[in-house]
Amino acid sequence: MGSSLSSPSVAIVGATGAVGVEILKCLDERDFPLSNLRLLASPRSAGKTLSFRGRALPVEVLDENSFKGIDIALFSAGGSTSRKFAPIAVDHGAIVVDNSSAFRMDTSVPLVVPEINEGEIGAHKGIIANPNCAAIISLVPLWPIHRKNRVTRLILSTYQAASGAGAAAMDELVQSTRAYLNGETYENKVLPHPYAFNLFSHNTQIDPATGYNDEETKVIKESRKILGDTDIRINITCIRVPVLRAHAISMTFECEKPIAPDEVRALLAGAPGVKIVDDVERNYFPMPMDAQGQGDVLVGRIRQDVSDPSGCSISMFVAGDQLLKGAALNAVQIAERLVERHVAENLVEA
């Protein structure tokens, strides 16, 4: 191990990517108590620099020797990079917070949303997984309800931004919209369908056996693991929409006991990571444009599901920044908890 977890030496793997850049900003804005920061990316980024706390830091090419002296490594460079390099980082004594899906369902790897299951962090064996963005954004506002009146069934429809597919997809949205407005043809390179003024079923593969795509399957499995509830019934349809960086999600959930919209509002008022935006008079509800750039998940359209006469079901609409709470911020919050736990443990020992 390098310096110490109370003032750790940190590496960002994938520092030049859509999430990596936000991790860098979160570390800065949240005054993360690091002693040293190493930025890692592919050979394509060799020679680049990124600014951090007023200094230009070089981007280094990731290799087997990148993790010497690193205490915490924040990975966001895709599953194959994580599968190859996360174990190497752990062998060098680092704790890995991994934003890819590579280890999320591994039983020895905690899958953590700090507002929900922070306690799992202590069980890590070197790797902690950051969940899928749509799972995080759905579960942050669901959790305060679930812990009071168990949610037995959840139906989600997502409206997912370009950022989930990386910086190149965000660029494709901008370029293809510009081309469309100029009356020019644009050949999509990153996503499988025309993106400007269009939407389409999530670009991950469909499992022919279930009819669900990978993204949907991830949300179902990961939600059960995060909530610690293998019985919760979940149905989901994931759609990619032409929005840059915040996901919106329509949710309907059924609880064990009857529940009224006002009870939901009371449970969500002041809940960590949640902001109610539910202005019926002005018809003002969560929008990606408002969610963009903030850490809270916006929640509104809170209403009884009139299709369920038992009174146990609620519908609502949420929006959250995919790059922040859906990825970078959640990872940095996990790293913050690692530091806090280390400091608290040392105090006890002293």
Rule CB under 6 A: say whether 313 interacts with ligand A2P.
no
Contact present, 167 and 18 (Cβ < 8 Å): yes
How far apart are the C-alpha atoms of 269 and 261, rounded to whole Å? Answer: 12
Closer Cβ to ligand A2P, 116 or 170, answer by number: 170
x/- site string to ligand A2P, residues 146 to 175, per CB under 6 A? --------------------xxx-------
Nearest-CB residue for ligand A2P: 17
For residue 307, the one-letter residue type is S
- Candidate list 5, 24, 41, 145; residue touching ligand A2P; CB under 6 A: 41
Active site residue 255: no
Verify binding: residue 18, ligand A2P, rule CB under 6 A.
yes
Residue 191 is given by DSSP the state S
Residues 99 and 130: beta-carbon distance below 8 Å? yes
> How would you label 67-88 residue by residue, b for 16+ Cβ within 10 Å and e otherwise?
beebbbbbbbbbeebbeebbeb
Kindly report the length of the chain. Answer: 350
Given the complex with ligand A2P, which of 18 and 220 has the nearer CB atom? Answer: 18
The only residue of 5, 8, 10, 17 in contact with ligand A2P, by rule CB under 6 A: 17
Q: Where are the beta strands (DSSP E) in 215-291?
A: 233-240, 246-255, 274-276
Q: Which of 133, 238, 255, 312 is the catalytic position?
A: 133
Measuring CA to CA, which residue among 116, 158, 112, 156 is closest to residue 140?
116
Q: Is 133 a catalytic residue?
A: yes
Question: 185-214: which residues touch ligand A2P (CB under 6 A)?
Answer: none
Counting contacts by CB under 6 A, is residue 100 touching ligand A2P? no
Position 326 contacts ligand A2P (CB under 6 A) = no
Q: Total residues at the site for ligand A2P (CB under 6 A)?
A: 17
- Per CB under 6 A, 77 contacts ligand A2P: yes
Which among 167, 111, 159, 110 is positioned nearest to 134, based on CA atoms? 159
Eight-state DSSP code of residue 293: T
Q: By the criterion CB under 6 A, which residues form the site for ligand A2P?
A: 14-18, 20, 41-42, 44-45, 62, 77-78, 81, 166-168
What residues are labeled active site?
133, 247
